Amino acid sequence: MRICVSACLLGQRVKYNGGDNLISGLAERLRGHEVLPVCPEVAGGLPVPRPPVELARGRVLTADGVDKTDAFHVGVEAALAALDLDGVGVDLAILQSRSPSCGVNEVYDGSFTGRLIPGQGLFAEALAARGVRIVDAAGLDTLDL
């Protein structure tokens, strides 16, 4: 399978705070598949580190209200293009939980208080809209690979 993976899950230090979300053993588990690490935020030219953002009323905002929506959409488009969805395609995407870009099942509610609501990040939503199966990294235990 061709599997898109949030780059931070594979140890790439692309998180907003300069860190990663490494899942130990993930790379080994995906051996034999074509793994496509992608960080849509970095793909769009955002720096590391960068201010944290949350989704609010359809926009991507920092805690002090700076609107990053356009930059995030640029990143989603760049990441989708890199995956060649209209060509060879992607069978599966394994994405970091709760991210405003990669979240699959829930995202922060825009209040910067840690509250979660049902929803998807912009990249996850775009992949799903194009028919790619998206899986939350928190649900890997039940994933049959």
The binding site for ligand SF4 (CB under 6 A) comprises 6-8, 14-15, 39-41, 96, 99, 101-102
Nearest CA-CA partner of 121 in 69, 50, 51, 63: 69
Minimum gap (Å) between residue 85 Cβ and ligand SF4 = 17
Minimum gap (Å) between residue 38 Cβ and ligand SF4 = 7
Choose between 49 and 89: whose C-beta lies nearer to ligand SF4: 49
Minimum gap (Å) between residue 57 Cβ and ligand SF4 = 20
Alpha helices in the chain (DSSP H): 26-29, 40-43, 69-83, 122-129
Tally of residues, the chain: 145
Choose between 109 and 144: whose C-beta lies nearer to ligand SF4: 109
Choose between 8 and 134: whose C-beta lies nearer to ligand SF4: 8
CA gap 44, 53 in Å, rounded = 15
